[in-house]
Each structure stands twice: as C-alpha cells, then as structure tokens.
C-alpha cells in the first residue's frame, strides 16, 4: 500500500512525464504473462534508445496526473489493467512496437493515444505504426533537397566532359592516322 506522500510523488512524476511527452499510448495488458510484458519492455528500451517509456500505473494516479492537461481527453480509457507507453521523440517507432506486440498477443489491446494534444483511436495508432520513422523521413527530406543540387552539378559538368571526350577522340584519330 502506497503512502499519501508516495502517491503525490508518483502523480508529480506522471505530470512531468506527460508534460515532456510527444505521444502517449494507453493499453490494456490483461491476460499477458510477466515474461511477455518484460519482453515488451526490453524491446521498447532497446529500440527506443531512452526516447520511450512503458509503465503500469494505478488508474486513479493516472487520472489525477492528467487533470488540467491535454491527457485529460483520454483519461476515460484509464480503466481496468492500464499500461501507458510514452514517446519523447518519434511517435511512429513506439506505435510500431506496440502494434507489432498487439498482433502477436491478442490479449494486449491498444485502447487510445494522444499525439501532440490530439486524441488517437486504435485505427489511427495502427496507421501511425505504418509510417516511416522520424530518421527515415529526415533522410528522405535531405535526399529530396540534395537531388536538385546534384543534378545541377552534373549539368554544369557535362559540357566540359563532352569537350574532353571530343578532344580525346580527335587525339586518338590523329594517332591512328
């Protein structure tokens, strides 16, 4: 049994967690074995690199921490055995991990989510899980930005290259004749 001070400390910690989060997912883990949940936690730590958090917390503490914040819009889902997964960076990566886990374990149910203050349904979380990671999107953007410059460099280089090929052909022709 937690003391009042411990509960207040946990509520303050959850408020801080919610304040720093870019995305929050709410899941029902009822029926999962301890080893399955530990496997999920290990995967979240391994793939998240410190950018993801997963915890099981009392619903009453979650509701109290959510009061007066954007998280209050999904507090109705804080019922039954509740786990929260929080992303501090890339929300798609965590959604992918949770969605994969839910596909492998039928008893694990993603109930709702919150992305930058906007509530997410189960279907929206599944859609988010199909998106490329933030690093992949950045790489694609850099590639798109660099492509015109690379084409311009090739275009600027081509007349000189053509001239060099003509000179080389003439020199071979002169050597042969």
pLDDT in tens, 99-135: 999 999 989 999 999 998 899 988 899 888 888 877 7
Confidence (pLDDT) at 144: 79
pTM above 0.85, yes or no: no
Q: CA 78, CA 84: separation in Å to the nearest integer? A: 9
Confidence (pLDDT) at 110: 92
Confidence (pLDDT) at 131: 84
Q: CA 84, CA 53: separation in Å to the nearest integer? A: 8
Q: Are 85 and 27 in contact (CB under 8 A)?
A: yes
Segments in the chain below pLDDT 50: none
Q: CA 67, CA 75: separation in Å to the nearest integer? A: 9
């Amino acid at each position: 049994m937690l003391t009042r001070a411990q509960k207040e400390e946990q509520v303050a910690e959850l408020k801080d967690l919610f304040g720093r989060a870019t995305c929050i997912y709410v899941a029902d883990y009822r029926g999962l074995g301890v080893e399955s949940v530990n496997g999920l936690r290990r995967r979240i730590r391994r793939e998240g690199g410190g950018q993801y958090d997963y915890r099981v917390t009392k619903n009453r503490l979650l509701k109290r921490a959510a009061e007066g914040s954007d998280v209050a819009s999904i507090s109705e889902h804080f019922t039954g055995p509740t786990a929260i997964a929080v992303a501090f960076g890339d929300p798609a990566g965590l959604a992918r991990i949770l969605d994969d886990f839910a596909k492998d374990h039928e008893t694990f149910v993603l109930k709702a989510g919150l992305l930058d203050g906007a509530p997410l349904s189960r279907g929206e979380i599944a859609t988010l899980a199909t998106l490329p990671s933030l690093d992949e999107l950045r790489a694609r953007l850099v590639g798109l930005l660099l492509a015109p410059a690379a084409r311009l460099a090739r275009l600027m280089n081509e007349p000189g290259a053509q001239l060099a090929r003509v000179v080389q052909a003439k020199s071979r022709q002169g050597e042969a004749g």
